[in-house]
Structure 1
Amino acid sequence: MAANNGFTDLSSIKPFKTAWKIKVKIIHTWKQYNTYTRETIEAILADVSGTLTHATIKKQQLTKFQRLIVHGEWRTIENLQLIRSAGKFRATKHPYKMSIMNSSIISKCPPLSNDFYLDVATFEDILDEDVLNEHILIDVLGQVVNVGEIKTSSQNDKPKKRLEVELRDTSDQRLSCTLWGKFADTMWDACQKLAAGSVVYLLRCAKINTYNGERSVSNAFDMSLLEINLDHPIVGDFIAEYITFLAKQSTERILKKEKDEYINQYPMSTISDLFEATLEGKMLIVCTIYHIDMEFGWYFFMCLKCKQTCYLIPKKENEPVSKTKKRVWYCKTCNQDVNKAVPMYILCLDVMDTTGETKFILFDTNAQKIVNHSITELLEGNFQETFKFLATIATANITEGKESYKVSYVEMGDAITNVDDIEDSEIQPDPKDAISIYQVLN
């Protein structure tokens, strides 16, 4: 049990006794009315470790304690009753809910932290039905991107204003939100003054809803707290992260445009055009893979220093196994042993179109896309798929009649790989040093 000078962390309090002593910050308060307890004051409390719990002050204790329940201030509380937290509107994840008794003692204490103790859920977790419990309220942070019109709908058989807004997170994932009553008015006024794109919204104690398989959030009656453009580091971090995301997206669009322009400068050709070429260059070929040549290995080792092929030095016969001894490679280009090398994919594909057949050699990134098949499919060749390849015509293809071509680009449907720098290098992997699929299986 975590205790400090007689005080217990909220994570450690249990209902087997009432003589608990805690130090907490009042994070959020609201009034609640029902036919059983009538008016109550509800509060969310946090200890210095960030654990949150829900507390209730019933009508009988309001006169005694109401003036001490002040949002944002720290309090010590002694003697409290705990019951199991249940229902469809659980304010926190804490398994127990706190109830203030006549014998409870609430007193002021110096602040221990200025933290808001937010527990913000990601959009990804909210939208995944298997991650978050709909009955536990959450904190939601997002930028408003679309705002509907205020409408009047029925809530609990009473007419109430309703506003639909669309939020986005820092990766531009979208989430629908419905605001009711005063929350709808607050959001509408903010969006009219600031424009939707300038509103960063924090909704504490938001309710997750599921309708027709789609998840959204809404305010949970008066339990929720809506903050617009809150002056808090989490909002500044949100804006900074989103700006970084936009910059990255912009860079990716520019790079894609440049890459498309680079690829499209080469003519669409056929395999027979490759055979008839008299000059070095590149051609775009649309053809079908019908087999993977098993004579070639599946990967080779590249020296990290010179980016050329290196060869794994085998262990000496009867050499004892040592966990501390590092693997060593020999690099012809560096003319020395090296201990830093990385494996790189290499695939030799048999391809065909209506004009002929040939072999394409793919390296690393491009090869990884092709390897996205089962071992059985690769071994037996039980797949025939059509791709667009950017094939390189080398001197050996022209003067020596070599009928295998390096590929520096491959496009498969909507997935486009990056051009591998290795494709246009002079690396010549030795098949004897590559690891074949038979070695992997055996």
Structure 2
Amino acid sequence: MAMVRASKNIVSYVRELKPRKYTSRIEVRIVRLWRNYNKESGNTIEMVFVDKEGTRIHASVGEQLIKKFDDKLREGDAIVVQLFKVYDAIGEYRTTPHPYKIGFFQTTFVGKADDFPSAVPEKYFADFSDILGENLDHSCLVDVVGQIVNFGSLENKIIKGKDNMRLLIELRDPNNVKMMCTLWGCYAKQVYDYSRSNMSTMIICVIRFCSVNEWKGAYSISGGYNSTHILLNPTLDFIEEFKASLPNDSLALTNNDSSQWSVGTATSIRARFFVLNERLTIREIIDSTLVGTFVTLGTIETIDTERGWQYLSCKYHNNKNDVISRFKLIAHVKDDSGEANFLLFDANAQQIVRHSAAELYDENEDEDFLPEAVSDLFGKRVLFLDFS
């Protein structure tokens, strides 16, 4: 097949790539690189490229070309790639939603890309609500960022006759939506060791290329594929902004035995309320000197209206042009032993109000006005999961 080199100055964006356009020239960064083996294609080098627009595409180097390109491809490097094939990307657990992928020829050119930006737009972070609400294409891996609020024990599981470490963690997002995540192998140990060593700090976890899993109609995420990449408290541009958008409740990191957890089902909620955590009265929680998670049963007497029952928040990453009302209920709760105020942010409040704050908020009402759906909580007995 005759091929003609593209003009040196003409650079295509990843979104412009089409099959049979062999003369394209792209400038990309290798955001992920790993070795793979399967019976059909043998040993390969697998990569994910990202261009200046933040668009990703998968790329592969076949077994017969590994020696030629091995020393030219390093994860994190910015490179120029020219004279390659573009073909359909098919199958499950694809690293990107791009309809095509890149394959290398013997004549493919790889060189250093000058002036490639150190940061590119982030396009692949998935909202927790979209994952849990089945709003995503589950054939593609996604990126997730969340605060680790709970992690289990490091367990040894036999998978296909081989020992493998497993760790369950619970992440939350700025809307206080919590989601379970299963980590395997070296990723499980990485997160477990870091979490154990940083119990007193807020841990922000970025998981790139994780899968969305469904079990009995409920959804969670999993990391452990060769492509998965986990960053803990990284110095990325958006991390401080993300931390500032989290609920200001000083939620402590907890470490619970995960043998009773059932990822992605209502059992995980039942376990937290009835199996994993100690049941205490309000007075026992107030008097306790222990740091941990406790369950208490109390009656909601009132909701504080002086400090408001809701607040306006950016939907994600401080986009000030897109705000939404979210719950911030300060509930005065009593039991036979005493009384205390419990702060309920959006996701937790929705579980007992049965409405979103956006549905109830009316900007024309007085600030101390309490919607009927909220005032209906008065006198109700509620189980609270308290992080003390």
| Match for residue 141 of structure 2 among 118, 137, 150 | 137
Aligned 8 A contact 2:57 2:100 in 1:
yes
Q: Which protein shows a greater Rg?
A: 1
SS at match of 1:165: strand
Amino acid at match of 2:49: L
1:412 aligns with 2:368: no
Q: Which amino acid aligns with 1:182?
A: C
1:210 aligned counterpart, secondary structure: strand
Residue 86 of structure 1 is aligned with which of 82, 90, 99?
A: 90
Q: Residues 217, 252 of structure 1: CA spacing in aligned structure 2 closer, same or farther, 3 A cutoff? A: farther
Letter in 1 for 2:118: N
Equivalent-residue separation in structure 2 for 1:258 and 1:142 (angstroms): 23
1:103 and 2:107 matched: yes
Higher relative contact order (CA 8 A, sep 6+): 2
The change in CA–CA distance for 1:37 and 1:411 in structure 2 (over 3 A counts) is: closer
**Structure 1 residue aligned with 2:125:** 120
Residue 179 of structure 1, aligned match among 179, 183, 201 = 183
Q: What do residues 75-134 of structure 1 show as CA deviations (whole Å, max 9, x unaligned)?
A: 1111111221111110011100111111111111213201155421111111121x2111
1:14 aligns with 2:18: yes
Out of 168, 173, 183, which is 1:169 matched to?
Answer: 173
Q: Is the 8 A contact 2:185 2:224 kept in 1?
A: no
Equivalent residue pairs, number: 270
Q: CA deviation at 1:235?
A: 1.4
Q: Tell me, which stretches of 5 or more residues in structure 1 are unaligned?
A: 262-344, 346-363, 367-407, 418-442
Q: In 2 relative to 1, CA 155–415 (structure 1 residues): closer, same or farther, beyond 3 Å?
A: farther
| Aligned residue in 2 for 1:288 | none
Partner of 1:59: 63
Q: Is the contact between residue 305 and residue 369 of structure 2 (CA under 8 Å) also seen in structure 1? A: no
Post-superposition offset of 1:200:
0.9
Map 1:12-411; keep pairs closer than 5 Å: 12-115=16-119, 117-118=121-122, 119-129=124-134, 131-195=135-199, 198-242=202-246, 254-255=307-308, 365=365
| Distance change (3 Å), C-alpha of 1:412 and 1:137 | same
Q: Contact conserved, 1:46 with 1:117, CA < 8 A, in 2?
A: no
Deviations 1:221-267 (A, max 9, x none): 211011111111221111111156879xxx97844699999xxxxxx
Distance 1:102 1:124, change over 3 A: same
Q: TM-score with structure 1 length normalisation?
A: 0.56
* Distance in 2 between residues matched to 1:196 and 1:210, nearest whole Å: 32
Q: Distance in 2 between matches of 1:196 and 1:259?
A: 25
- Unaligned runs of at least 5 residues, structure 2: 1-6, 252-303, 310-327, 333-361, 378-388
CA distance in 1, matches of 2:108, 2:216: 46
Structure with a larger share of its residues in helix: 1
Deviation at 1:409, TM superposition (A): 6.1
Q: Which runs of 4+ in 1 moved over 4 A?
A: 243-247, 251-261, 408-411
**Structure 1 position 414, deviation (Å):** 3.2
Which amino acid in 1 is paired with 2:153?
Answer: E
Question: Does the CA contact (< 8 Å) of 2:176 and 2:247 recur in 1?
Answer: no
Residue 154 and residue 258 in structure 1: after superposition, are their counterparts in 2 closer, same or farther (change >3 A)? closer
Relative distance call for 1:90 and 1:226 in structure 2 (3 A) is: same
Distance 1:230 1:161 in 2: 24
Q: CA deviation at 1:150?
A: 1.3
Residues 137 and 208 in structure 1, CA contact (< 8 A), matched pair in contact too: yes
Contact kept? 1:145, 1:197, Cα under 8 Å: no
Deviation at 1:34, TM superposition (A): 1.3
Query: Is the partner of 2:189 in helix, strand or coil?
Result: helix
TM-score by length of 2: 0.63
Q: CA deviation at 1:171?
A: 1.7
| Residue type at the aligned position of 1:233 | D
